């Protein structure tokens, strides 16, 4: 099938990378074939997948710059069982140089075309800005998963991203959709969390995942071991919440079966 999902939010520290790595690992447990693409020069998703960003000879940057094929860069079967196109500081080259290239917004889409059908899902870990790397991600993607914290101004912060999605929807990528909004580092006892949730649901309706990710120290510790939390502490709340997210995510992929009402199946009187 090869559905591509970009994890994006131009705000840093909202849980994009944590969600990318842990959703990937949880989907693998659900027997899905997953490719994670690290598009952040910080290379946190690469490190969090147990791959040393300094020691990879080639990164997704080389693919974007036309110096390598995806096959040359691909790392198969990382510790958690998904494949990885690693990223690191070299990506700042693509971020800057792509600006001057013709067809600059479609480089990633073109580069991945051949490999995407080999996977059930491809997850992009985007950088914390709406730069050329993020635009390339959104042009290549089928949908956007937005991790966010329920803080003051959370909705205001989303408007630039939602505007960008809408603009791309009218131009370079008409199929682009919002996959879902994920509340991360969530504390249900906090009144502000509840208020922001109510506003989110008002604006985005059922796009807001029912699953929330609590603040959990295991989630913060796992990357330093180069592991998704599921392989670091599978009994942690963090692991359970990302497994639940994978379940909800997959359930939402199933086509809504038109309700064959009883009236239709019962003989007319």
Ligand X SMILES: Nc1ncnc2c1ncn2[C@@H]1O[C@H](COP(=O)(O)OP(=O)(O)O)[C@@H](O)[C@H]1O
**For binding to Mg ion (CB under 5 A), which residues are involved?**
16-17, 44
Question: Radius of gyration of the chain from Cα atoms?
Answer: 19
User: Which of ligand X, Mg ion, none is residue 184 near (CB under 5 to 8 Å by kind)?
Assistant: ligand X
Examine residue 111 and tell whether it contacts ligand X (CB under 6 A): no
Cβ closest to ligand X, residue 35 vs residue 47: 47
Examine residue 193 and tell whether it contacts ligand X (CB under 6 A): no
Cβ closest to Mg ion, residue 17 vs residue 216: 17
The tokens 């990879």 sit on which residue? 56
Examine residue 220 and tell whether it contacts ligand X (CB under 6 A): yes
Cβ closest to ligand X, residue 73 vs residue 148: 148
What three-state secondary structure class fits 125?
strand
| DSSP single-letter state for residue 44 | H
Binding window for ligand X (CB under 6 A); candidates: 9-17, 52-60, 95-103, 105-113: 9-17
The tokens of 152 are what?
């003051």
Query: Nearest CA to 173 among 210, 136, 203?
Result: 136
Q: Which of 23, 27, 85, 185: binder of ligand X (CB under 6 A)?
A: 185
Q: Of 11-40, which residues contact ligand X (CB under 6 A)?
A: 12-18
Query: Nearest CA to 209 among 183, 238, 242?
Result: 183
CA distances from 143 to 66, 110, 224, 243 (A): 25, 17, 29, 20
The tokens of 54 are what?
């300094």
Binding window for ligand X (CB under 6 A); candidates: 6-14, 68-76, 77-85, 130-138: 6-14
Q: Do residues 37 and 65 make contact, with C-beta atoms less than 8 angstroms apart? A: no
Binding site for ligand X (CB under 6 A): 12-18, 44, 128, 184-185, 213, 215-216, 219-220, 223
């Amino acid at each position: 099938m090869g559905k591509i999902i970009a994890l994006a939010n131009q705000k840093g520290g909202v849980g994009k990378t944590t969600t990318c790595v842990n959703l990937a690992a949880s989907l693998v447990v659900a027997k899905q074939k997953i490719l994670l693409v690290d598009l952040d020069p910080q290379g946190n998703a690469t490190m969090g997948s147990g791959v040393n960003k300094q020691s990879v000879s080639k990164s997704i940057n080389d693919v974007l710059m036309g110096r390598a094929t995806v096959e040359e860069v691909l790392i198969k079967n990382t510790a958690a069982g998904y494949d990885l196109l690693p990223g690191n500081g070299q990506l700042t080259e693509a971020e800057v140089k792509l600006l001057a290239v013709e067809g600059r917004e479609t480089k990633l889409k073109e580069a991945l075309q051949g490999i995407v059908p080999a996977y059930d899902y491809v997850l992009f870990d985007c950088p914390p800005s709406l730069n050329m790397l993020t635009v390339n991600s959104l042009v290549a993607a089928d949908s956007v998963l937005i991790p966010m914290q329920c803080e003051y101004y959370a909705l205001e912060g989303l408007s630039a991203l939602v505007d960008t999605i809408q603009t791309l929807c009218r131009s370079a990528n008409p199929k682009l959709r919002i996959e879902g909004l994920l509340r991360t580092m969530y504390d249900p006892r906090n009144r502000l969390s509840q208020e922001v949730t109510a506003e989110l649901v008002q604006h985005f309706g059922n796009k807001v995942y029912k699953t929330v990710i609590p603040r959990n120290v295991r989630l913060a510790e796992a990357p330093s071991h180069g592991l998704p939390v599921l392989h670091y502490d599978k009994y942690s709340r963090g692991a359970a919440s990302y497994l639940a997210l994978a379940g909800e995510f997959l359930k939402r992929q199933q086509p809504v079966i038109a309700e064959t009402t009883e009236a239709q199946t019962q003989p007319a009187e």
